[in-house]
Amino acid sequence: MINRILLGLFFCGCGLTASAENGSNLWLRQEPSCQATVVCDITSPVIDVARKELASLWKGGEVILRISADREHYGLGDEGYTIRSAGNDIILESSAEKGLLYAAYHLLRLQAEGNDCKNLNISESPLYEYRILNHWDNIDGTVERGYAGKSLWKWEELPSVISPAYEKYARANASIGINGTVLNNVNASIEILSDKYLDKVKALSDIFRPYGIKVYLSVNFASPMKLGGLDTADPMDEKVAEWWKRKVHEIYSLIPDFGGFLVKANSEGQPGPCDYGRTHAQGANMLASALKPYGGIVMWRAFVYSPTDDDRAKQAYLEFKPLDGKFLDNVIVQVKNGPIDFQPREPYSPLFGSMPHTPLMVEFQITQEYLGHSNHLAYLAPMWKEFYEYVSPYSIKAVAGVANIGDDVNWCGHDFAQSNWYAFGRLAWNPELSSSQIAREWLMQTFTDESEFLNPVEEMMLESREAVVDYMMPLGLHHIFAWNHHYGPEPWCEIPGARADWLPSYYHCADREGIGFDRTTTGSDAVSQYPDSLAAVFNSLSSCPEEFLLWFHHVSWDHKLKSGNTLWDELCYKYQTGVEKAQEFCEVWNQMSDYVDSERYQAIANRLKIQADDAVWWKDACLEYFRTFSRMKYPSGVDKPVFRLKELKKVKLPISNYECPSEDILPRK
């Protein structure tokens, strides 16, 4: 007994002072109590983490960690577990160590939410084997589409200096079940595979391993040339395949549990197999063969489109569907949730369901490239759940999320953006969880469990993404963003010589008659990429869900919608609703100062104010511009414009695609 207590004290974090309320503790904010006795006869890096967490934070009686004798432990797999109460004690059981780690975090989450943990009888296992964050971090410290400071990875200091943030990052991920991380941008630098950088990658993977997290790398397909000095990167060339084999061997000799590669090939200027007349499958398979002996995988992205074809929304399908069944079994084709590019709302990508002989994984974007960066509150679980309404979670193999994490003190810029990191992990573990349950869990752990706070704030979260859709691009509008940075509106944008499919007019197609992209059978025919029954629904103006109306149809301004309003009036009302919602969020938050520490309260209030002002900018820019085509009046109940179109056309934000704009450069009255 004495030994056990000593063990508990030894691992406990008591004596550490809680840090300031600046958001740096994420949802992991329980104070150490150091009263638990943890019984486990195994010592290993993973078990030690579980033991340390429980010894420090668990406030109940004895916790027993047990590796089950039956290898599968009720068919729950290596990461699954059971949690059972036995009197005052709790027994955590799994067939493997990682399962015990997840069980420990589950138990602690129940405690943090104030549950009575007396009669627990829980069995859990993740739906997906691969639950992966994709960092778009560059080795120069910038983060593509990152709005929370610089990269967390301090490449210049690694491997000798190890920031304490790395372990905190691993812990946060493990607590929500994320088990893999791609460290670098899909627009991949060549150097990441150099000896120098692989030593740095090894240092990170050593820190992540005890938290059950594998490291993956994005690779540049031309690496054999630029790094290896070969004269080609043709996947059918033996020298090239040999070069990759050697490189992979080198990686595994440093990192024995390395996860594999993520590849963006022949997309937006990146090199790839098509440069040599080869297919995506040939390229992916060459890498997969090199990784296969070590158990590594290739995640090959299907985000491809060229400036030549008629409809960008069709292109990934046209290029990848014919390759169904041609990939080796350790390749997973990674497809963005929608056919274009992480817009506030898109229908699902028709590739899902169209490649029955190829494992597919969905790529969600956690970072808010198109949803107000880290200035706007947009809780994304409802958007991801919407995807699963069309695509069965059981039909796909894995999940990836483009991370919203940087070196900002609160990790994600906006305190509420932490909820998207959290929700991604929870849904990757169990896509059946509801948006509401996840929001509540997160709020209780991050702020307080008082219902006067929880009820209104949860509701605000649940409404937030729809509000963004309403004030940015309602009724199926998409990609009418400002050039390059994707923050504000620029539906009028014309850049001489620019690719047509990078310009808003390509997508909104506004003219005197109406607005919207005709993707029906008489238009670009993108509808026909969906299963027949759904294609018929999307194809008809009367049955197409109105949230996708202008995605699939070019609709006349005076067309009557279900509400009885004309399209023009409805568009006006949607923008108005978005503006009102954003204003309402400020009011809801203003009532919450008693429940939240002043630092986070104020930071959130400031950002909600920016959001509400931006919503007006969006409404005015879009409605004033589209009115030049519709030549119709604003219906009653819609606010008069605050800005004039002429003024808004002059707005140019001096920011790159690595930044979140500060208040002082945004258009304000």
Q: Which of 341, 525, 546, 547 is catalytic?
A: 341
- Which ranges in 518-654 belong to alpha helices (H)? 532-539, 549-552, 567-590, 598-630, 645-650
- Rule CB under 6 A: say whether 144 interacts with ligand GCW: yes
- Rule CB under 6 A: say whether 187 interacts with ligand GCW: yes
Length of the chain: 669
State how far the Cα of 138 lies from the Cα of 152, in Å rounded to an integer: 10
In this structure, are residues 378 and 412 in contact, taking their beta carbons and an 8 Å threshold? no
CB of 369 to ligand GCW, least distance (A): 6
SS3 content of the chain, % helix, strand, coil (to 5): 40, 10, 45
In this structure, are residues 377 and 608 in contact, taking their beta carbons and an 8 Å threshold? yes
State how far the Cα of 300 lies from the Cα of 182, in Å rounded to an integer: 13
- Rule CB under 6 A: say whether 264 interacts with ligand GCW: yes
CB of 264 to ligand GCW, least distance (A): 5
238 sits in which H/E element: helix 238-254
DSSP 416: G
CB of 304 to ligand GCW, least distance (A): 10
User: Residue 57 or residue 400: which is nearer to ligand GCW going by CB?
Assistant: 400
341 given a catalytic annotation: yes
Residue type (1 letter), 193: L
CB of 134 to ligand GCW, least distance (A): 9
513 given a catalytic annotation: no
User: Residue 204 or residue 263: which is nearer to ligand GCW going by CB?
Assistant: 263
User: Residue 366 or residue 461: which is nearer to ligand GCW going by CB?
Assistant: 366
Adjacency order of strands within the sheet including 89-94: 38-39, 63-67, 89-94, 81-86, 121-124
Among 62, 89, 257, 341, binds ligand GCW (CB under 6 A): 341
Q: Which of 268, 432, 494, 587 is catalytic?
A: 268
Q: Burial-class residue 8 by CB neighbours within 10 Å (0-12, 13-18, 19+).
A: buried
CB of 136 to ligand GCW, least distance (A): 5
CB of 370 to ligand GCW, least distance (A): 8
- Rule CB under 6 A: say whether 136 interacts with ligand GCW: yes
CB of 342 to ligand GCW, least distance (A): 5
CB of 148 to ligand GCW, least distance (A): 16
- Rule CB under 6 A: say whether 369 interacts with ligand GCW: yes
Retrieve residue 232's tokens: 């080609």
- Rule CB under 6 A: say whether 278 interacts with ligand GCW: no
Q: How many residues bind ligand GCW (CB under 6 A)?
A: 11
* Contact pattern for ligand GCW over residues 53 through 82, marking x by CB under 6 A: ------------------------------
**Strands 121-124, 81-86: pairing kind:** antiparallel
Residue 664 three-state SS: helix
User: Residue 303 or residue 568: which is nearer to ligand GCW going by CB?
Assistant: 303
CB of 181 to ligand GCW, least distance (A): 16
- Rule CB under 6 A: say whether 505 interacts with ligand GCW: no
In this structure, are residues 478 and 345 in contact, taking their beta carbons and an 8 Å threshold? yes
431 prior amide bond cis, ω within 30: no
- Rule CB under 6 A: say whether 135 interacts with ligand GCW: no
- Rule CB under 6 A: say whether 128 interacts with ligand GCW: no
Phi, psi at 64, each rounded to 5°: -110, 125
User: Residue 145 or residue 312: which is nearer to ligand GCW going by CB?
Assistant: 145
310 given a catalytic annotation: no
Strand partners, 398: 130, 361
First to last CA, the chain: 69
Comparing CA positions, the residue from 169, 174, 118, 662 lying closest to residue 405 is 169
CB of 380 to ligand GCW, least distance (A): 15
Q: Burial-class residue 277 by CB neighbours within 10 Å (0-12, 13-18, 19+).
A: exposed
User: Residue 268 or residue 449: which is nearer to ligand GCW going by CB?
Assistant: 268
Comparing CA positions, the residue from 197, 247, 254, 189 lying closest to residue 219 is 189
User: Residue 12 or residue 302: which is nearer to ligand GCW going by CB?
Assistant: 302
CB of 101 to ligand GCW, least distance (A): 31
Comparing CA positions, the residue from 624, 635, 620 lying closest to residue 569 is 635
- Rule CB under 6 A: say whether 459 interacts with ligand GCW: no
User: Residue 155 or residue 481: which is nearer to ligand GCW going by CB?
Assistant: 481
- Rule CB under 6 A: say whether 289 interacts with ligand GCW: no
User: Residue 187 or residue 354: which is nearer to ligand GCW going by CB?
Assistant: 187
- Rule CB under 6 A: say whether 186 interacts with ligand GCW: yes
- Which ranges in 321-450 belong to alpha helices (H)? 381-390, 418-429, 435-446
State how far the Cα of 119 lies from the Cα of 268, in Å rounded to an integer: 54
- Rule CB under 6 A: say whether 412 interacts with ligand GCW: no
User: Residue 56 or residue 365: which is nearer to ligand GCW going by CB?
Assistant: 365
- Rule CB under 6 A: say whether 659 interacts with ligand GCW: no
Q: Which of 369, 408, 614, 624 is catalytic?
A: 369
Residue nearest to ligand GCW (CB): 341
User: Residue 186 or residue 550: which is nearer to ligand GCW going by CB?
Assistant: 186
- What Cα–Cα distance (Å) separates residue 170 from each residue in 46, 81, 100, 412, 549? 12, 20, 16, 15, 42
In this structure, are residues 97 and 42 in contact, taking their beta carbons and an 8 Å threshold? yes
- Rule CB under 6 A: say whether 145 interacts with ligand GCW: yes
In this structure, are residues 130 and 397 in contact, taking their beta carbons and an 8 Å threshold? yes
- Rule CB under 6 A: say whether 442 interacts with ligand GCW: no
- Which ranges in 430-480 belong to alpha helices (H)? 435-446, 451-472
Q: 438-441 long-range contacts, Cβ below 8 Å, gap at least 24?
A: 438/381, 439/379, 439/381, 441/109, 441/113
State how far the Cα of 354 lies from the Cα of 615, in Å rounded to an integer: 38
Comparing CA positions, the residue from 445, 509, 490, 80 lying closest to residue 312 is 509
- Rule CB under 6 A: say whether 342 interacts with ligand GCW: yes
State how far the Cα of 206 lies from the Cα of 553, in Å rounded to an integer: 52
User: Residue 8 or residue 489: which is nearer to ligand GCW going by CB?
Assistant: 489
State how far the Cα of 270 lies from the Cα of 268, in Å rounded to an integer: 6
User: Residue 145 or residue 440: which is nearer to ligand GCW going by CB?
Assistant: 145
- Please state whether 37 falls in left (phi above 0), alpha (psi between -120 and 50) or beta: beta
CB of 17 to ligand GCW, least distance (A): 40
CB of 567 to ligand GCW, least distance (A): 29
Among 258, 303, 429, 471, binds ligand GCW (CB under 6 A): 303
Residues near ligand GCW (CB under 6 A) are 136, 144-145, 186-187, 264, 268, 303, 341-342, 369
Catalytic residues, by residue number, are 268, 341, 369
